[in-house]
Structure 1
Amino acid sequence: MPITRAKATQLLNQKEMALYDDSRINGLRQLDAKALASRVTRARTARDRARDLVQKHKLASRERTGSKRGRSGVANQRSKDKAELLADILKRFETRLREVEREAKAAAKRAKAPATKRTTTRTATTATKRPTPRRAARRAGEDKAPRAAATKRAGARKATSANTSAGKPARKAARKRRITPEQALAQTRALLEAKHARELEPRPWEATPGNEPGAGAPGYQSDSAARRAKRLHAAEARIPAIQGSISTRDRINQGKRDHRGQDGD
C-alpha cells in the first residue's frame, strides 16, 4: 500500500525526507542527470542500510520468540515499512534518470543528423556532377544578378529609413525627455505653496459689510451663537438653572439666615 507523507515523516530522518521530497513528481522535474545520479547513490545506500536493519531484527526475533520467520513485533514492521519506502524512492530516481538519459541521446542524434545529411548530399552532388568551365561562368553570372538586385534593395531601404528618421528628430527628443528628481521636487513645493496661499485667503461668507475680505475675528460670530453655546455648555455641565436675578436670590438667602434664630424660639 502507498505510504503517505505523514507516515513517511515517522519512518525517515531529515536527510531521508529530503530524498522523499525530491522523488515526488515536482521534485523530479527540476533535477538533471547529474543530480539524479547523486540521489540514486544516496537512496541506494539508505535502502541497503534499512534492509540490513530488517535482517538484524528478524534474527533477534527468532532467538527471542523462536519464530521461524522472525517478523513479529512493532519494530520489525516499522523497519520493513522503511525499507520498502526507500526502495520505492530509489526506483523513482532510477526511472527518471533513464528517461533523462534517453531524452539527451535523442536530442544529440537530432542535432547531428541534419549536418551529416547536408555534408553527404553535397559530397555526392559534387562527385557525380562536375560543372564545365562554360557552365561555371554562366552560373557565376546568374549569381551576380540576384546579388546586385539585393544590394540595390538594401540601399533603397537604408535611404528610406534615413529620410524617415530625419523628419522626426523633435518627436523622438520629446519622447525621451524626462523630469529629473530636482524638477519634480520643485513642482511639488510650488503646488504646496499655492495650496497654503488658498487656505489663507478668506472665504466668501467671511467678507466684511463693505464687501471687502478680511481676516475673521476671534470668538463667536454673533451674540445668538454665543448664547446657544453657553446654553449647550450649561446643559452638558448639568448646572442648575437660576430663577430670578442675583439680587433677588441674595435677599431670599439673607432672609432665611435672619429667621434661623426666630424659628428656634
Structure 2
Amino acid sequence: MAFTITQARPLLTAAELELFDQSRTAPIKALTLARLRGKVTRTRTLRDKYRDLFRRQTVSVRKAPATAGRSPVGSDNERTQRKADILQEVLGRFEDRVALLEANLARDASAAATRKAAAPSATTATKAARKAGAKRTGGGSAPVAKKSATAKVNSVRKASGPRAATRQKGVTA
C-alpha cells in the first residue's frame, strides 16, 4: 500500500519526512546518482532502526505482565511498525531509481564503447585516403625543412654512388 504524505506526517520526524518527500515522483528525478546512493544508505539505516525497535518492543510487551492499560497482544507498537513500513516503501523507490540510472549509465557506456571501436577503423581509412591523395598530387601540404650544407653534400655523394665520391676527392678511376 502506498502511503500518502498525510498518513506519513504524524509518524515521521522532520528529517524522515524530508526523505519521504524526496522519494516522490517529481523530486526523485532531480537527484543525482551519488545523492540517491546516499539517500538509500540513510533510508536503509532508518528502516533497520525501526524494524529492530519494533521487534524489541514486541518482545518486551510479551514478557511484561498484562496491566489494565496495556493489551497482551502488543498493538501498542503499531506506530513503530507503520513507520518501518513507510521507510521500506521509501527505500524501494530510491533503490528502483538507482537501478534505473545505473542501467542507463551502463547502456550509455556500452554505446560509447561501440562508437569508439568503430571510430578507429574510420580514421584509419581517412588517413589512408589522405596519403593516397598526397601521392597523386605530388606532395602534402606540409612545408619541407631546409637541409644544411653538409647534409646536401652527403646526399649528393649517396645519390651519385662511389665513383662520384672518389672524383670529388680528386681520385679518377
Separation in 1, partners of 2:2, 2:65: 30
Shift of residue 71 of structure 1? 5.0
CA RMSD, 1 decimal: 3.0
Q: Which runs of 5+ in 1 are unaligned?
A: 145-265
Deviation by residue 1:187-233 (Cα, 9 ceiling, x = unmatched): xxxxxxxxxxxxxxxxxxxxxxxxxxxxxxxxxxxxxxxxxxxxxxx
In 2, are the aligned partners of 1:19 and 1:39 still within 8 Å (CA)?
A: yes
Given residue 90 of structure 1, which amino acid in structure 2 is its aligned partner? L
The within-5 A match list for 1:109-128 is: 109-123=110-124
- Which is bigger in relative contact order (C-alpha 8 A, separation at least 6)? 2
Provide the residue aligned with 1:137 in structure 2: 135
Separation in 1, partners of 2:89, 2:120: 48
TM superposition score normalised by structure 2: 0.66
How many percent identity over aligned positions? 31
Separation in 2, partners of 1:23, 1:93: 6
Structure 1 residue ranges, 4+ long, deviating more than 4 angstroms after superposition: 129-133
Q: How many residues align structurally?
A: 134
In 1, are the aligned partners of 2:62 and 2:74 still within 8 Å (CA)?
A: no
Separation in 2, partners of 1:120, 1:59: 69
Structure 1 pair 10–113 and aligned structure 2 pair: CA distance change class (3 A): same
In 2, are the aligned partners of 1:22 and 1:28 still within 8 Å (CA)?
A: yes
Separation in 2, partners of 1:14, 1:111: 43
Shift of residue 33 of structure 1? 0.4
Shift of residue 65 of structure 1? 5.5
In 2, are the aligned partners of 1:71 and 1:77 still within 8 Å (CA)?
A: no
The within-5 A match list for 1:74-223 is: 75-123=76-124, 137-138=135-136, 140=137
Question: SS at 1:11's partner residue?
Answer: coil
Provide the residue aligned with 1:14 in structure 2: 14
Structure 1 pair 103–25 and aligned structure 2 pair: CA distance change class (3 A): same
TM superposition score normalised by structure 1: 0.45
